[in-house]
Every structure is written in structure tokens, then in C-alpha cells.
Structure 1
């Protein structure tokens, strides 16, 4: 006889209502959250396809989120300084322990096989649920190493005193779930089903998982020569070949990746649709404060990021072999087109709120005071850097409507899979594959090929040089997409940001007049957007000048601790070895 978790028939009715509302609002393709009813699922929940789909939608919403705003603070993308003892065993920072969400997913996996929904519908639903469970477990393993594997929906009567599984056992479990998903999902969901997990998404996530498994993070004694790299290469080649055969690829226009939906680079998206679900970008906190409301300071680019973009010929700023001259006073000129697609600088066109011709200013007494980066406004501050972010911003929205941005969040895009394929190819002796991927990405970006067709890349690179080139290219290609910190950590390169000071670009003068010499005519010209970037003088200035000024990223951050409150609840949990315990989170 099928086990019943609960007998609350009211819950079934409410779930049906929520699912019906999704359809009635014309947003049946939006995997939106349904009510978290304390007593559901009730008896019969898994006998009705509509309530099953609504329950599955809840599982999606418990797993996939929107843009990772301010994730770049942990690395060299945006402005905050990570302090000493940012993470402790008791403060909850960087703790990922989603067992309540996993229980919700496990209920579906456990109950659906005996439910009365059509048998033909069950495999794809179970496959999506297992993908979501794998996603949670993968994230936990990346944070903490091996964790307890819970396959059944535990109740209060069950023995909850579980021990941690090894990291290898967890990776095997994750791949088991993903292999089931791959075998039981359609190649590609489109139309009203767009946003659902399909085979393309499952293959792509498997490649991501196995790239991490092979990485130095989990193999410190043999970081780039271990056998897991071949496994990662095989999975990512399978993924990229499948994507190529099914109409995926690099989108021609970089900006359109984030501002249009359903395109060929989009493998898995969290679908947003105003007013049902909006502001996944967190645009209200990313815009300049003068054109938003209630929040600011999100994804503020720092000078290190601006310097990381190559020139238009693919050579780095200041490289004597570049055909373009670089000068800090005209730092925006002749750069990789992704520079202007992502960053906004003083005097640059940024037509927010539908204001044609609007230019963004950052100089004290020229800019709106809430946008300025200058000593007398607020002192040097990580919340102003002299740069703003354009990526994923709906410039047409007025401040009153800024929270209605409904651009989809692209959780997995083709370029990431291409990077994963290139990286694993390079580590398995196929550097030519990696170099071609780099060239393809740079060509799409609009970088000039050069006489040798290398798009500014060095000819004859070693495996180590290709590894660095991939890491650098991904830094700028996927900036503010939640990749950079995790890539540095995965490669055991946190030393590159440990002790780092962060800088911004301060506008010091306009037409040779300092902020305290600005005239009413100067302000009037600013109000009419007449000042151009080259009319100003710039200086690179440190953001933080009081208190802790440098980043703290000790080696023990390669694995985060299990929180003491979790150990107090379950004494069988071992703490990680760098945090006072004995558990080895590596493979």
C-alpha cells in the first residue's frame, strides 16, 4: 500500500487553484512558486497531473534563483572587502544546508511512482525532480564536501542522526540522478514548456559537476593530472556535441543573451514574467541611485575588472604589440566590445528611464550626489566605484517600475558549457580544442581576428598558458553571473584575491576645474548631458581607506564548515578538518 505523507484534502484543492491561476494569467510556462502549505501533500496529490505539476513547480522554486547580485564582492568583480573571519562555524556565512527543500523533492520522487497520473508522464517528472535534487547536492558538495545522502522523505519519526557520506559517494549520487534525468527527458523543451529542465540542461549540468570533481579544489595532491579530467572531458564533449546537434550555439549579439528569451545560447532559464514573477535581476539595487528606488550598491564594477578587458585587437591594455594605445585618461576607448556592453563610466550614454541622450556622471558636483564617487560626498566607499553595471538592465523602466524587470535569469548558457569543454580538453592534452573555443568566444564578442587569426591570443601557448587564458576570458565573458569566485576557489587560486585592495576610477576634474571650482554653467551642461567622457580627468583611487582595506581569503575557505547548530542537532556529523574536525572533504 502506498505510503501517505498527509491527508489534508484542502491542500489538494489549494494546489489546484494555484496551478489554475498560472494558466489563467497566461503564464503556464512560468515555473512559479505555489503556496507552502504546512500539511501538504495530501492524500491524492500525486493522482492528479495538475497538482503534481504545481508541486513540481514548487520544487523548481526551492532550487533555482535569479541573478547572483553582489556575488562579485567575493572576488575581483565588485567593491566590498571580505573581512577577516568572514566565515566561522557559527555565523552562518556560506552555509548551504537545504535539507527541507530536498525533503520536498524526495516526497515527489517517492510518491509519484504509485500515483494515478498517466504512466507516460511519470518519467519526465521524476527526471526533473532528480535533476533538482542533484543540483542541491552538487551545491552542498561544492560548499562543504561530502554530506549526508538522504534518498527518502524523512519524517519526525525517522532516525535523523545521520553521518556524512564521502565526497566521492556524493558525486556518484549526483551523477546517478543526472544520468536518470538524461535518459528520461526530451531533448529540448520549447513553447509553453520553455524553462523546464530537459536533456540539454541535464547533460550540461553533468559536465559542470564533473569539471568540479576533477578540479584542484577536490584533488589538491594531484590538481591537473588526475584521472577525473578524462571523465570531465567525456561528459562535456557529449554535452557540447548534443547542443550543437540540437540548435544551440553562441548568440551573435552578446547583450541579447541577457535581454531576450528562448535564444540558442539559453540552455536553462529561470523564467520571469511581470507581474507574476519579476526583478530576478535585482535591478533596483544595481542601477545608479538617481534612477532607482529603495536600494543601491549592487554589482558595482571595480577598476581591476575594467583593466581585465583587452583592447579591440585582443591584446591587453598597455601591451606594446597592440595596435591600440592605452591611456587611463581614455580607458574606455578601443576596448573589447563587451566592455561597453557591461560597464558604464563617467560621461557614457546610459539612457535609463527612457531618457534619450542621458549620460551617466560620477564627478562630485557634476553628478547627482547619490551617484558620485568622490571624497566629499561620502569618502571613498565600496558602494561607489566610478563605474556602474549595464548587464541585464532594462534601461526603459522608470524608477517607479524598476522592480518589474522580467528578463530571464540564464542559469546555464552555451558559453559556459563551451568553457567547461575547453578546460577539460586542455587538461587532457587537447589544447587545440581549447584555443578554438577561445577564438570562437572572442570572435562573437567582436574582437578583431588579426593577421594571424588568433584574436589577440598568444601563438604556441603551453597547457598552463591556455589554462590562464581560459580563466581570464571567462572572468570578463561571464562577469556578474556568479562564476568568478567559484572558479578561483575551484582552481585553488584564492591567494590571488587574498590581501587584495580594491580600487575605483574617480573623476577629478571637468575642463581642468576640480569639484570645488565647478560653475553653474558646468552643472547646466551636465543637466543637458553635454559633457563627454574625454572632457574629464581621472584618477585610480582606493575604495576603502579606513578599517580593513584588504581582502581576507585564507586557504581553509576551499571548503566551508558545517555550521555548529547543524552538528548540535546531529552529533554524527563530522566537522571539516580545517575547521576543527576530522572529515576530509576532498576525493
Structure 2
């Protein structure tokens, strides 16, 4: 019998929701029947843990920036390269599919069955609220990437799954925001102990604000951001350390993918691939010159400002400290040596082996390789939503509403000064148009390599500007191994050519294998 990904058999759910010692356990130790599953709190909790399994992955977060102008995925088998350069098709086996209803169906099953559990109503409602969030999050991804998608909120049969039609995107988005508003009234502000990492009120409100911003519902986004601001989150003092393994679950993190070394590790496909040959890995993701150029000088001026002090021959000097926190560039001291992708014959030369074809490495989430005794088995969490995004959402929503009061400047100042940058120059950014430009740049450099840039391109409709033409990397030259001094004498390396069709490429193709099973799905324009 054909089996659409939209449907998952109960037996499959039970296999993944077996008893776990705590929330972070990697694998089940034994199983339940549906009759016995709801007899204890521990069993119901184990079933909910199964809903968390695979709700989001660090691979997806990291690689989404390769669909944008921020980074490049050099290995086609990682399945993001063709989406990034505009060559993706519905039948391309090297195009990642987010058309995935497994989490949704697990959550539907849980929500329909948990009332059988002999546990208190408050805990039962909280459990259901967590599952409703996970379902809403998956619908956010589906509707963002594919537009109209089937909206399924109950268990369905194989026959129903294989014949269900797509729901209008607007209706899916209303379902998401309604659900998030409702569960925000149920979920706690925070957790303790082994429950840390579960869905909170702040996560529900922050995701709702993200969806509202993307849908240009600015007034609602502002209100939800204000609610999050009142919950006690704050910016972590050190931007670089924010992403380190031993600083996870800090006061800035609102939602993340939880990992734990030796149990539920963040391994190869998620983290260990990022360093290049000289660091014992391979550069699957490579930041672009375009991203590097987006960072201001430490005086707050952009590099194209003649008064900025920027030098093409010394391009990494006096730059926004977030550049070095996010990107390993030539001459940067990293893991005990000066990184050198530009000297021919070196271990990390850009065109050899598994090295970065742009000459830049991702540093965010792997800021210090010394943090990881085994980089193939780490416990670093991958952040999905953090407080800085909420501040940027608030500022953008206010600006797009025609408001540029002190609260907007303050939100930007807080983010910039935390990073070691000057406050916003009110004399320069003194109107809606200039402040919009600044906010968009701040989103790019602050949230770089966290998987959000593509969504910004999508809603700002700037794909034809930033996703076409030549992708460049660093200039060539030499790096002094003893001092790190960079001498640039060559041209920028050419990475690839990209195309962007605005009538097609703001949405992903519905996978042909899904349409072969379900003839009613249709296809997005241009595919």
C-alpha cells in the first residue's frame, strides 16, 4: 500500500515515544501499547517526548542560510545547493524536502489521546499546549516554504492522506497564530531541571510575532513582542560566547534544539562538518563575500562610506566584532593558528580538498574547537529563536508602521552595544527609509548563519537583487603563519553563478514523489 509522508501509523509513533529517563534521552528503552500508554504521567510524558523528536534539526537551521546570499553549500548531496543557485526542480533528488508531516501527525495523535491519561488537568493541558506548538511550528515552515499546504489537525487514514488537498496559505497562517495565542495562555514562563528546553510562553509569543512580521501584520507583531519583553529575557552580555556549548540555555535563548553529548549529540550532519581540512573536517557551508561586506566598521560606518576608513587591502581591520564571531576569515587566529585559505599550497587553501571554496568558515556555534573533545559528538544547542530577534522584529514592525520613536532606537542600540558597536547615529538614520536600511542590515549581521536570512529575502522581495549573479569569496594573497598578517594581491575567488526567477523561486517545489501519490496537490508556479 502506498504511504504518504502525511500519514504515520500508530505503531511507528509508539516506537519513537518509548519510555525515556528524561527529556534529552536519545533512544527508547522499551515500548508501550496504546492501551497502556496513558496509565501514568511518565508514560504520557514519554509520548510527548516522541513529538519533540525531529521537530526541528540543526542541519535545517544552519543550511537554510545557503539558500540565501549569506553562505554557499559546496556539496550537492547536502541538498541545499540547488535551492541556493536557482536550479532546483520538483524531481531533483538533491533538493531537501520540508514537505514533512511526521511531527504533525505525531502531535495530532498525542492531542487526541492524552485525555485518556490519569494525570491532572493542568499538566495535561500543558502537555497538549507543547504538542500544539510543535505542530504550529511545522505548519509555519510548510506554509513559508510551499505556500498552500494541507492543513490536518486530526488523525487521518492512509486513503485520506493520499487524497487531501492543499489549504490556502492565509487559512494555515490564521490557524498558526490562533493556536499560538491560545497556548501562550497555558504554557509556563520557564522550566527547571530536566524540563529545560521544553516549549514556553515566550516561545509561543515569539514565534507568533515572527509569523505576524512575515505576514506584515505589524500591529499584532508589536503587541506580541511587548509581551515577550515583559517576560524577563535579556541579551547575553557576550555575543561570541552566546553560542558556546557551556553557555547554552542562557537568558537570551527563547527556543532551541536541545542536544546532549553521548545521549542526543549534535554530530556530523549538524556541526562537525563545518571546519575545513586543516581543522579535521570539511567546509560544507562557506560564508560569502557578500555577508562579510555587510558588516560595518567599528565606527558605525558601512564599508562603502568614503569616511569609514575601510581599506580593500586590509579589509578585516576595525570591523564590527560580530564578523569575527560569525566568520573565520584569512588571518584570524582560530583554534591555535592563523587561518590561511589564500596561500597556495597551504592546508586550508580554498580550492583544495575539503576546504572552503569562499575562503571563509562558519564560526558561529563552533567558536572554539577546544570546546569539543570530539567534534563528532557535541552537546551544543542550536538556537531557533532568541531575544535579539524579538528586538529586531519589534523595531522593524514599528518602522513599517511609520513609527520611529526612542523605543526603536533603543532596541537597536541594545543589540549594537552588546556587540561592541556604537549606538545608532540619530543624525544619519533620521527617517523611515534610512532606518529601514539599518534594521535590515542589523538583522543580517546579528542573525547571520541562524537560518533566517532566506525568510527576510522572501518577505522583502529582494531575491532578484541579492540572489543573482556571481558569488564571490575572499581575495587571494598570503597569510604570515607567525603573525597572521594578511597580504592581498589577487582577485576575489569566484564560487558559482546564481539565477533567481521571482515568479518561481520565492517558493519551493512540491516534491514530485508527493504528487505521484496524491494527485490533488498541484504544483507551485514555474516548477
Counterpart residue number, 1:562: 510
Counterpart residue number, 2:142: 140
Deviations for 1:408-453, whole angstroms, at most 9, x for unmatched residues? Answer: 111110011111111111111212243332222111111134xxxx
Aligned pair partner of 1:76 in 60, 69, 72: 69
Q: Are the counterparts in 2 of residues 34 and 55 from structure 1 also a CA contact under 8 Å?
A: no
| 1:539 to 2:490 alignment | yes
The Cα shift of 1:400 comes to 7.4
Counterpart residue number, 1:513: none
Q: Assess, with a 3 A threshold, how the Cα gap between structure 1 residues 36 and 282 changes in structure 2: closer, same or farther.
A: farther
Deviations for 1:38-62, whole angstroms, at most 9, x for unmatched residues? Answer: xx65212122221221221121122
The Cα shift of 1:97 comes to 1.9
Secondary structure of the equivalent of 1:113?
Answer: helix
Q: Are the counterparts in 2 of residues 442 and 455 from structure 1 also a CA contact under 8 Å?
A: no
Secondary structure of the equivalent of 1:79?
Answer: strand
The Cα shift of 1:196 comes to 0.5
| Aligned ranges 1:463-474 → 2 under 5 Å | 464-474=433-443
| 1:441 to 2:415 alignment | yes
Deviations for 1:93-138, whole angstroms, at most 9, x for unmatched residues? Answer: 3542222321111110000113223333101000000000101111
Q: Assess, with a 3 A threshold, how the Cα gap between structure 1 residues 396 and 101 changes in structure 2: closer, same or farther.
A: closer
C-alpha distance in 1, partners of 2:17/2:116? Answer: 19
The Cα shift of 1:65 comes to 1.4
| 1:264 to 2:251 alignment | yes
Counterpart residue number, 1:551: 498
C-alpha distance in 2, partners of 1:298/1:552? Answer: 21
Q: Assess, with a 3 A threshold, how the Cα gap between structure 1 residues 44 and 155 changes in structure 2: closer, same or farther.
A: farther
Q: Assess, with a 3 A threshold, how the Cα gap between structure 1 residues 413 and 436 changes in structure 2: closer, same or farther.
A: same
Q: Assess, with a 3 A threshold, how the Cα gap between structure 1 residues 333 and 455 changes in structure 2: closer, same or farther.
A: farther
C-alpha distance in 1, partners of 2:205/2:373? Answer: 41
Secondary structure of the equivalent of 1:69?
Answer: helix
The Cα shift of 1:238 comes to 2.8
Deviations for 1:478-517, whole angstroms, at most 9, x for unmatched residues? Answer: 111001122101211111223221112233246xxxxxxx
Counterpart residue number, 2:156: 154
Q: Assess, with a 3 A threshold, how the Cα gap between structure 1 residues 204 and 60 changes in structure 2: closer, same or farther.
A: same
Q: Are the counterparts in 2 of residues 274 and 404 from structure 1 also a CA contact under 8 Å?
A: yes
Counterpart residue number, 1:239: 228
| Aligned ranges 1:286-301 → 2 under 5 Å | 286-293=274-281, 296-301=282-287
Q: Are the counterparts in 2 of residues 342 and 390 from structure 1 also a CA contact under 8 Å?
A: yes
Q: Assess, with a 3 A threshold, how the Cα gap between structure 1 residues 105 and 204 changes in structure 2: closer, same or farther.
A: same
Q: Are the counterparts in 2 of residues 34 and 57 from structure 1 also a CA contact under 8 Å?
A: no
C-alpha distance in 2, partners of 1:419/1:388? Answer: 26
Aligned length, in residue pairs: 505
Counterpart residue number, 1:51: 43
C-alpha distance in 2, partners of 1:476/1:419? Answer: 12
Q: Assess, with a 3 A threshold, how the Cα gap between structure 1 residues 498 and 395 changes in structure 2: closer, same or farther.
A: closer
The Cα shift of 1:31 comes to 6.2
Give TM-score scaled by structure 2 length.
0.87
C-alpha distance in 2, partners of 1:347/1:159? Answer: 54
| Aligned ranges 1:379-458 → 2 under 5 Å | 383-393=356-366, 395-397=368-370, 401-432=374-405, 433-449=407-423, 454-455=424-425, 458=428
Q: Assess, with a 3 A threshold, how the Cα gap between structure 1 residues 508 and 274 changes in structure 2: closer, same or farther.
A: same
C-alpha distance in 2, partners of 1:399/1:248? Answer: 28
Q: Assess, with a 3 A threshold, how the Cα gap between structure 1 residues 396 and 305 changes in structure 2: closer, same or farther.
A: closer
* Pairwise CA RMSD: 3.0
Deviations for 1:231-265, whole angstroms, at most 9, x for unmatched residues? Answer: 3333333333xxxx332111111012111122111
Counterpart residue number, 2:236: 251
Q: Are the counterparts in 1 of residues 85 and 497 from structure 2 also a CA contact under 8 Å?
A: no
Q: Are the counterparts in 1 of residues 340 and 478 from structure 2 also a CA contact under 8 Å?
A: no
Counterpart residue number, 1:367: 346
The Cα shift of 1:302 comes to 1.9
| Aligned ranges 1:125-524 → 2 under 5 Å | 125-156=127-158, 158=160, 160-214=162-216, 228-240=217-229, 245-259=230-244, 260-279=247-266, 282-293=270-281, 296-322=282-308, 325-351=309-335, 355=336, 358-365=337-344, 367-368=346-347, 371-373=348-350, 377=352, 383-393=356-366, 395-397=368-370, 401-432=374-405, 433-449=407-423, 454-455=424-425, 458-462=428-432, 464-509=433-478
Q: Are the counterparts in 1 of residues 399 and 435 from structure 2 also a CA contact under 8 Å?
A: yes
C-alpha distance in 2, partners of 1:86/1:52? Answer: 45
Q: Are the counterparts in 1 of residues 240 and 367 from structure 2 also a CA contact under 8 Å?
A: no
Q: Assess, with a 3 A threshold, how the Cα gap between structure 1 residues 473 and 255 changes in structure 2: closer, same or farther.
A: same
Secondary structure of the equivalent of 2:513?
Answer: helix
Counterpart residue number, 2:519: 571
Structure exhibiting the larger radius of gyration computed from Cα positions: 1
Q: Are the counterparts in 2 of residues 131 and 178 from structure 1 also a CA contact under 8 Å?
A: yes
Give TM-score scaled by structure 1 length.
0.79
Counterpart residue number, 2:55: 63
